[in-house]
């Protein structure tokens, strides 16, 4: 894990989430959430925990909560890198209840949260994984996260992979690489994986190039975003591949090849930079970024 | 033969046993929503963990799988009567039910009831009806294959003894014999169109002619046996062909299921009306792959086929 991660204040996150909901939900759902929150902070029976967690949608509904820029900044301050834009009312409600239950002893908390994960429905699983960066004892959730990455339910995988700072902060290289590879495999936007550049590594670059070969052999398209984490690890070894991307008929593929080449720093790169000088210049002059590529593909 | 623009609900079908071809055929035939009652798997379960994963499948993976074909998937949670006879298993499963009953899209406790009508079956049937009553939930009752009429009567008595209003209870797998006693007592009266072992759809046409469409619901109960996931649209078509009004057909193949399960608060028409239409224009590098994982399905005119009679 990344040692520079600042510990976050669970109670502060809990009260902030509640404040956001307070100005947006009606009196009845708020009263319900308050009551259940208090119950879970005390000495609840197991079934009260399960039933209140499951019943959240019935009270809050599933409307997306539109946070202001100020509120989003606040989110990133109370938990480094946290960006809850697009979260729905029930997702905030569920996380609020989990963070109330966090008042329990560590063992009890971890045991029950794992049980909630195990019996979660589709919507609950999305909420639980989106909430990963906010829980206490975050290092304890690495295995659970790796298990979630294996989910066949694409939106559940996306809840972990996209706009979520937890994986980059806590997953080891094997689990991390699996996220990037699987994102490409299921067609999820790579540019929304937080830390995709800082956690790029040589092993991942090799895996991705192999994957590109498989796709080419099958006559299937290769996402231009695949070359983003490969770029910094380009070397003579991958020159044939990157030339293949340069010669792709689609312009966005050529741009991706140029961006990958620009981000590399191997000694022999000048040969290709000269060969594809006009594309490289074009990309440099237009300030094109990988995020632009990702957005264009969506 | 076309579905004539009608939309259908199949309120009893075991999709985990069905293929993706079935989902495509169902979508094409106009089925917009399905309810999958928790039941047994053909092979008996021997531990509660098996049931836990099954419940999770119903609210997770199967729900997602259906969504890829533009079908909304709901379920009921319960301990079936067959496996209720395994007391150790049954006690452990009873502990699991509260973990699932309040989840989104869980529309009832079911399918529960009698199989061989043992004392043990009755004990867990009774406990689950009690749970439903306490939590203001609906109950979906499976009536037994053998000794069906007595089973139906005892099931209704048991529900009423626990204070359940008949309007909150669905008695399923009825036939010409049981409908007489079930319908007049005010329960939702469901019929399973299932080849050979249950009801053929020519018989169903006659039942609707005799009893009308109030509180009558048709379903397929399609599962791992020789069954038909297009039972509902086929039977609807046969009813139209044999002179039953479109309004009555709509009630027994859509509206009554909606009214009945809508009482749960978890089964709303807007859930499927708001689904984004399947879009073929989205392409990626010239190939039609969808980033959200959805699989394109065309609703067609030849959805049901010529052979609509189920014997």
Of A115, A187, A250, the CB nearest to B289: A187
pLDDT tier at B283, thresholds 50, 70, 90: very low
> What's the pLDDT at B278?
53
Strand order in the sheet with B8-10: B8-10, B31-37, B72-77, B106-113, B139-142, B169-172, B188-192, B216-219
Which residues, listed in sequence order, are joined to residue B34 by a DSSP beta bridge? B10, B73
Q: Where are the domains of chain A?
A: 1-137, 196-298
Contacts of B131 (CB under 8 A, 6+ apart): B97, B98, B101, B109, B137
Contact B174, B112 (CB under 8 A): no
> What's the pLDDT at A156?
97
- Asked whether the predicted pLDDT for residue B298 surpasses 70, the reply is no
Contacts of B219 (CB under 8 A, 6+ apart): B10, B11, B12, B13, B172, B190, B191, B192, B193, B231, B232, B257
A125 Cβ under 8 Å from any chain B Cβ: yes
Q: Contacts of residue B64 in chain A, CB cutoff 8 Å?
A: 122, 152-155
pLDDT tier at A23, thresholds 50, 70, 90: very high
Tally C-beta pairs within 8 A across A and B.
Answer: 78
Contact B177, B147 (CB under 8 A): no
Strands (E), B29-173: 31-37, 72-77, 106-113, 139-142, 169-172
Residue B5 CA, chain-centre distance (Å), reads: 22
A51 Cβ under 8 Å from any chain B Cβ: yes
Express as a percent the part of chain A with pLDDT over 90. 96
ipTM score: 0.88
**Is the CB of A250 less than 8 angstroms away from the CB of B285?**
yes
Of B55, B105, B287, the CB nearest to A221: B287
- Tell me which chain A residue has its CA closest to the CA of residue B56: A119
**Is the CB of A221 less than 8 angstroms away from the CB of B104?**
no
**Is the CB of A47 less than 8 angstroms away from the CB of B99?**
yes
**Is the CB of A121 less than 8 angstroms away from the CB of B105?**
yes
Domains and CATH numbers, chain B: 9-272 (3.20.20.140)
Of B103, B284, B285, the CB nearest to A54: B103
Q: Mind telling me how many Å the CA of A58 is from chain B's nearest CA?
A: 8
**Is the CB of A124 less than 8 angstroms away from the CB of B64?**
no
B265 Cβ under 8 Å from any chain A Cβ: yes
B285 Cβ under 8 Å from any chain A Cβ: yes
Q: Which of these, B67, B158, B224, B144, lies nearest to A126 by C-alpha position?
A: B67
A161 Cβ under 8 Å from any chain B Cβ: no
Residues within 8 A of A (CB atoms), B 127-156 only: none
**Is the CB of B99 less than 8 angstroms away from the CB of A221?**
no
Which residues, listed in sequence order, are joined to residue B5 by a DSSP beta bridge? none
Of A54, A119, A186, the CB nearest to B56: A119
Contacts of A54 (CB under 8 A, 6+ apart): A121, A124, B99, B100, B101, B102, B103, B104
Q: Which of these, A179, A173, A207, lies nearest to A192 by C-alpha position?
A: A179
Which residues, listed in sequence order, are joined to residue B108 by a DSSP beta bridge? B76
Contacts of B143 (CB under 8 A, 6+ apart): B113, B114, B151, B152, B155, B171, B172, B173, B174, B178
Contact A184, A213 (CB under 8 A): no
| Mean per-residue pLDDT, B164-177 | 97
**Is the CB of B291 less than 8 angstroms away from the CB of A298?**
yes
Q: What's the CA gap between B192 and B190, in Å, rounded?
A: 7
Of A123, A188, A220, the CB nearest to B291: A188
**Is the CB of A122 less than 8 angstroms away from the CB of B101?**
no
Q: What is the pLDDT of residues A244-288, one digit of tens each?
A: 999 999 999 999 999 999 999 999 899 999 999 999 999 999 999
Angle between helical axes of B176-183 and B148-161 (0-180°, round to 10): 20
Angle between helical axes of A89-101 and A27-41 (0-180°, round to 10): 20
Residues within 8 A of A (CB atoms), B 48-67 only: 52, 55-56, 59-61, 63-64
A47 Cβ under 8 Å from any chain B Cβ: yes
A114 Cβ under 8 Å from any chain B Cβ: no
> What's the pLDDT at A20?
97
A295 Cβ under 8 Å from any chain B Cβ: no
- Least confidently predicted of A5-9, A182-186, A231-235, B63-67: A5-9
Contact B23, B65 (CB under 8 A): yes
Residue linked to tokens 């908390």: A109
Four-residue CA torsion sign, B259, B260, B264, B266? negative
Express as a percent the part of chain B with pLDDT over 90. 84
Contacts of A146 (CB under 8 A, 6+ apart): A171, A175, A178
Q: What phi and psi, each to the nearest 5 degrees, are found at residue B2?
A: -95, 165
Q: What is the pLDDT of residues B219-265, one digit of tens each?
A: 999 999 999 999 999 999 999 999 999 999 999 999 999 999 999 99
B247 Cβ under 8 Å from any chain A Cβ: no
Of B61, B98, B289, the CB nearest to A152: B61
Q: What is the pLDDT of residues A180-189, one digit of tens each?
A: 999 999 999 9
Beta strand B188-192 with B169-172 is: parallel
Q: Mind telling me how many Å the CA of A76 is from chain B's nearest CA?
A: 27
- Asked whether the predicted pLDDT for residue A10 surpasses 60, the reply is yes
Strands (E), B38-163: 72-77, 106-113, 139-142
């Amino acid at each position: 894990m990344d040692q520079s991660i600042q510990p976050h204040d669970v109670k502060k996150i809990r009260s902030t989430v509640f404040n956001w909901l307070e100005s947006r939900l009606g009196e009845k759902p708020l009263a319900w959430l308050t009551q259940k929150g208090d119950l879970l902070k005390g000495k609840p029976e197991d079934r009260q925990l399960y039933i209140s967690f499951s019943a959240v949608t019935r009270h809050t509904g599933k409307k997306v909560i539109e946070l202001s820029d100020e509120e989003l900044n606040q989110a990133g301050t109370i938990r480094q890198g946290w960006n809850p834009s697009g979260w729905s009312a029930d997702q905030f409600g569920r996380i609020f209840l989990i963070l109330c239950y966090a008042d329990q002893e560590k063992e009890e908390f971890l045991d029950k949260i794992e049980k909630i994960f195990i019996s979660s429905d589709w919507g609950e699983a999305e909420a639980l994984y989106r909430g990963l960066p906010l829980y206490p004892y975050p290092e304890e959730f690495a295995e659970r996260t790796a298990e979630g990455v294996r989910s066949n339910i694409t939106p559940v995988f996306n809840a972990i992979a996209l706009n979520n700072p937890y994986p980059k902060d806590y997953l080891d290289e094997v689990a991390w690489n699996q996220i990037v590879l699987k994102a490409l495999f299921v067609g999820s936007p790579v540019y929304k994986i937080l830390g995709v550049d800082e956690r790029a590594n040589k092993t991942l670059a090799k895996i991705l190039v192999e994957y590109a070969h498989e796709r080419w052999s099958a006559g299937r398209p290769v996402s231009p975003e695949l070359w983003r984490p490969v770029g910094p690890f380009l070397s003579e070894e991958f020159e044939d591949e990157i030339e293949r991307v340069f010669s792709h008929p689609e312009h966005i593929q050529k741009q991706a090849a140029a961006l990958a080449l620009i981000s590399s720093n191997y000694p022999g790169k000048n040969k290709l930079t000269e060969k594809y000088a006009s594309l490289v210049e074009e990309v440099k002059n237009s300030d094109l970024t990988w995020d632009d590529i990702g957005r264009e593909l969506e | 033969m076309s579905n004539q623009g009608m939309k259908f609900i199949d309120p009893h079908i075991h999709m985990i046993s069905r293929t993706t071809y079935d989902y495509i055929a169902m979508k094409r035939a106009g089925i917009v929503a399905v309810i999958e009652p928790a039941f047994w798997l053909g092979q008996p379960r021997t531990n509660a963990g098996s049931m836990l994963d099954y419940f999770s499948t119903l609210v997770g993976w199967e729900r997602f799988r259906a969504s890829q074909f533009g079908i909304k998937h709901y379920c009921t949670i319960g301990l079936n009567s067959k496996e209720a006879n395994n007391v150790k298993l049954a006690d452990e499963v009873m502990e699991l039910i509260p973990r699932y009953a309040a989840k989104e899209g869980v529309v009832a406790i079911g399918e529960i009831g009698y199989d061989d009508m043992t004392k043990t079956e009755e004990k867990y049937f009774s406990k689950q009806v009690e749970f439903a009553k306490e939590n203001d939930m609906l109950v979906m009752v499976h009536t037994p294959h053998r000794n069906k009429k007595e089973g139906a009567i005892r099931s209704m008595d048991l529900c009423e003894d626990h204070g359940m209003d008949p309007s909150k209870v669905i008695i399923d797998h009825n036939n010409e014999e049981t409908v007489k006693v079930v319908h007049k007592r005010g329960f939702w009266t469901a019929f399973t169109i299932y080849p050979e072992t249950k009801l053929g759809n020519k018989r169903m046409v006659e039942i609707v002619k005799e009893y009308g469409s109030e509180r009558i619901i048709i379903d397929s109960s399609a599962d791992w046996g020789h069954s038909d996931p297009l039972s509902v649209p086929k039977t609807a078509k046969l009813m139209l062909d044999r002179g039953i009004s479109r309004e009555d057909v709509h009630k027994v193949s859509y509206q009554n299921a909606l009214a009945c399960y809508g009482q749960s608060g978890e089964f709303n028409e807007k859930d499927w009306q708001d689904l984004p239409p399947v879009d073929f224009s989205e392409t990626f590098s010239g190939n039609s792959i969808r980033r959200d994982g959805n699989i394109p399905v065309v609703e067609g005119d030849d959805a049901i086929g010529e052979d609509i009679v189920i014997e």
